[in-house]
Amino acid sequence: MTPRSQQDDAPPVDDFASQVLDVVDAIPPGRVMSYGDIAEYLAGAGAKGPGPRQVGRVMAVYGGAVAWWRVIHSDGTPAPGHDSVALRHYLAEGTPLRSARPPVRVDMRRARWPGSAPPR
């Protein structure tokens, strides 16, 4: 077969975005991942130079199609826009919170999801 891997036209809508959404969609309830974690996870998955900012950009555009509340800052603070909504999900999913009151903060130490098998 042609030395071409997969379809050459592959106009990957947004290859990077697709991977990010896939990872976020794989985060189980009660667990969360930081932008940097996702970027790092993708970096180990084959992606290149995915900065945490790029992950945030994807979430800002396609975030409405995934559990955006499971994607938070490295500090454990949820994304802006609907902190109360995120808190509602955390309580419903049993996410370990360090602060159940603004500033809402998730206990990253325990809620952090390694992503199945992260490079260590």
CB of 26 to DNA, least distance (A): 17
Distance in angstroms (rounded) separating the CA atoms of residues 20 and 4: 24
| Contacting residue, 15, 22, 25, 75, with DNA by CB under 7 A | 75
CB of 102 to DNA, least distance (A): 9
Residues sharing a CB contact under 8 Å with residue 34, sequence separation 6 or more, in sequence order = 52, 71, 72, 73, 74, 108, 112
- Told to check if 71 binds DNA by CB under 7 A, we report yes
- Told to check if 115 binds DNA by CB under 7 A, we report no
Q: What is the DSSP string of 70-112?
A: GEE-TTSPBPTT-HHHHHHHHHHHT--EEESSSS-EE-HHHHB
Instruction: Say how many residues touch DNA, by CB under 7 A.
Output: 26
Tell me whether strands 71-72 and 97-99 are parallel, antiparallel or unpaired. unpaired
* Binding residues for DNA restricted to 17-46, rule: CB under 7 A: 34-37
Give the binding range for DNA (CB under 7 A) out of 2-10, 58-66, 88-96, 112-120: 58-66
Residues that bind DNA (CB under 7 A): 34-37, 49, 51-57, 59-60, 63-64, 68, 71, 73-75, 79-81, 103, 105
